[in-house]
Amino acid sequence: MKKLFCVMLTLGILLTSTVTAFAATKGDVNSDGKLNSSDALAILQYSVGSNPKKFNKNVADMNNDSKINSSDALSVLKISVGLVDGDTNTPKTTLRDEVIASVIKDKKFTLSMTIIGEGEEIPTTVTMDGNNFAAALSLDGMDSRIITKGGKTYIALDYLGTKMYMETDDDMGVGDFINTESDNDTYVKTTTVKEGSKTYTCEEYKSTDGTVAKYYFEGKKWVRQEVIDGSTIAISKIHELKDSVDCSLFDLTGYEKLDPGAIRPM
């Protein structure tokens, strides 16, 4: 079971980035969806040591000089009154917006991928239906599912030829990454990456906690994701993302409820 929970942690890191795939507008420090003089004033207040309310400092550095000062406030003000165009470093529509966010924004999707870690490749399918979530994975030849629905979490196992499941009132952290309305990360850059005969477009984003997410696309097909959280790097190969729910992943028909203490350590 220990290895299963390690995989769940990796899955959580990947999905935290995936399902919050909505970038904040650079300069919109109060996150009201508008770029105006209120943002400029908030940046100016922050630059002199004040603590404005709902201030997202991750989108305040307009000129990318790693400082937040009056120059950034002036840039926002100029944009708000039409003297200059908005941030030219950030495309109006990114591939992440077009390919990923457009599919998952309604929280009804199925994602098939392979998690890579510690020399193992673990086939995984994730589905989401509103606030209900399920992930199916194959680990050491044992098929497992983690299901969160109706405020409870279930772990379903095909264990020694027997179908079993455990139930808990703890959502095991799933609730932390089912919110698709976060605006805590911003676009950093787009690069071209060549691997052998293939060429990929890589979009990089950075969240307010320092986590870096890289999305790789082959044309307009999402093929890979890397999330760097401190010293932890979570990697997944993406096979398919579709805007439909795989209801079979929530089904526990034929499974026997089991006391967690009955399972031998793996």
The verdict on 60 and 159 lying in the same domain is no
Segment 91-109 mean pLDDT:
81
DSSP 265: P
Please check the confidence at residue 182 and state whether its pLDDT lies above 50. Answer: no
Residues 124 and 60 in one domain: no
- Higher pLDDT pick, 8 / 101: 101
> What torsion do the CA atoms of 22, 241, 104, 10 make, to the nearest 10 degrees?
-70
Give 206 or 25, the one with higher predicted confidence. Answer: 206
Residues 180, 71, single domain; the answer is: no
Q: Name the strands in the sheet holding 221-229, side by side, starting at the edge strand that comes first in the sequence.
A: 185-195, 198-207, 212-218, 221-229, 232-242, 108-117, 120-129, 132-139, 142-149, 152-159, 162-168, 256-257
Q: Any residues with CB less than 8 A from the CB of 243 and at least 6 apart, and which?
A: 103, 104, 106, 108, 109
Q: How does 218-257 read in b/e, with b if 16+ C-beta sit within 10 Å?
A: eeeebbbbbbbbeeeebbbbbeebeeebbeebbebeebee
Cβ of 24: how many Cβ atoms within 10 Å?
Answer: 21
| Statement to judge: residues 132 and 175 lie in one domain | yes
- Does residue 17 sit in helix, strand or coil? helix
d(CA 129, CA 106): 9
> What pLDDT, in 10s, does the model give residues 9-23?
566 555 655 655 455
* Backbone dihedral angles phi then psi of residue 13, each to the nearest 5 degrees: -65, -45
In a domain, 85, yes or no: no
Is there a single domain that holds both residue 164 and residue 59?
no
Residues 6+ apart with CB under 8 A from 154: 145, 146, 147, 148, 165, 166, 167, 168, 252
Q: What is the pLDDT of residue 6?
A: 56
pLDDT of residue 34: 79
**Taking residues 104-117, what's their average pLDDT?**
88
Q: What pLDDT sits at residue 146?
A: 87
User: Is 119 in the same domain as 246?
Assistant: yes
Do 8 and 71 fall into the same domain? Answer: no
Checking if the pLDDT of 107 tops 50, the result is yes
Q: pLDDT at position 266, please?
A: 45
Residue 105 burial (C-beta neighbours within 10 Å; 0-12, 13-18, 19+): middle
Say what the pLDDT of residue 141 is.
Answer: 72
Cβ(105)–Cβ(180) below 8 Å: yes
| pLDDT over 90 percentage in the chain | 26
In this structure, is residue 263 part of a structural domain? no
Residue 70 pLDDT exceeds 80: yes
- 46 domain residue, yes or no: yes
Tokens of 102: 């457009």
Confidence of residue 4 (pLDDT cuts 50, 70, 90): low
Position with higher pLDDT, 7 vs 107: 107
76 domain residue, yes or no: yes
On whether residue 265 sits in a domain, the answer given is: no
Burial of residue 79 (number of CB atoms within 10 Å: 0-12, 13-18, 19+): buried
Q: Residue 3 has what pLDDT?
A: 58
Q: Residue 89: pLDDT above 80?
A: no
On whether residue 183 sits in a domain, the answer given is: yes
The residue-averaged pLDDT of 34-55 equals: 88
Which residue range forms the structural domain that includes residue 165? 2-22+95-250
pTM given for the model:
0.69
Residue 205 pLDDT > 90: no
State residue 5's pLDDT score.
Answer: 55
In a domain, 145, yes or no: yes
- Do residues 133 and 16 both lie within one domain? yes
List the one residue out of 234, 215, 228 whose CA is nearest residue 8.
234
Judgement on whether residues 184 and 217 belong to the same structural domain of the protein: yes
Domain count, the chain: 2
The model's pLDDT over 235-261, given as tens digits with 9 standing for 90+, comes to 999 999 999 999 999 999 999 887 656
| Residues 138 and 226 both lie in one domain | yes
187 domain-assigned: yes
Q: Is the pLDDT of residue 177 over 70?
A: no
Joined tokens for residue 48: 């002199």
Q: By percentage, how much of the chain surpasses pLDDT 70?
A: 76
